[in-house]
Amino acid sequence: MDIHFEGRISRQDFYRAHVLHMKPSRLLMWLRIGAAAFFILALLRTYTANPSNWQPLVLLAFPVILATTPWWMPFYKTSAYSDPKNPLKDPILGIASPVGVVMSGPSFKSSMRWETYSHHKIGNSLVLLYQGGRGFNLFPRSLFKSDTEWEGFVRLVEAKTLPAPRKYVKSKA
């Protein structure tokens, strides 16, 4: 059964895709929060002990930036949506079939067999199909005309691709 989709990917869809992509597991999230809290406290303690010595502050700020990456990186990545050459702002037309996914727009044409996709992530109203560890195609619910078509697409993705490895948890983003 072929599932047709068409529409545009909004800036909000693009942002939510990066949130889903960057979302750490619960354990990793708590480890990151703990590390950030530890280094923030170390920053405060270092600053109050010697406000004129800024070099340790720079060294302690770096781990805070790394630990908080999943929360600020989606905002940074979403800035690429504004690029005039970004093909995601153009209308997309496509078909998902048991063989693969065919998509086209004014500036691109793509035909991918399911074997090309290494894994998937599924959020509330968003599917990410990965071609390796970081590159993905995003499919928001808004591209599908009905709930039936959306649910059929999600079932097809689950049947034809592997779920994300354990470190990439299924999310409600």
CA distance 148 to 119: 23
Side by side, which strands form the sheet with 108-113? 3-7, 92-96, 100-105, 108-113
Question: How crowded is residue 133: how many other Cβ atoms within 10 Å of its Cβ?
Answer: 10
Mean pLDDT (the chain, rounded)? 84
**Residue range 12-29: average pLDDT?**
78
| DSSP SS3 for 57 | helix
Higher per-residue confidence, 167 vs 131:
131
Per-residue confidence (pLDDT) for residue 168, from 0 to 100? 43
Task: Answer whether 153's CB lies under 8 Å from 5's CB.
Answer: yes
Q: Residue 17 corresponds to which amino acid? A: A
Contacts of 140 (CB under 8 A, 6+ apart): 9, 10, 13, 16, 17, 125, 126
Q: Is 35 exposed, middle or buried (0-12, 13-18, 19+ CB in 10 A)?
A: middle
Element spanning 96, H or E: strand 92-96
Per-residue confidence (pLDDT) for residue 1, from 0 to 100? 83
Task: Point out the least confidently predicted range of 25-34, 136-145, 150-159, 162-171.
Answer: 162-171
pLDDT of residue 26 exceeding 80: no
**pLDDT digit string, tens, across residues 57-111:** 677 777 777 777 766 777 777 777 778 777 778 899 999 999 999 999 998 899 9
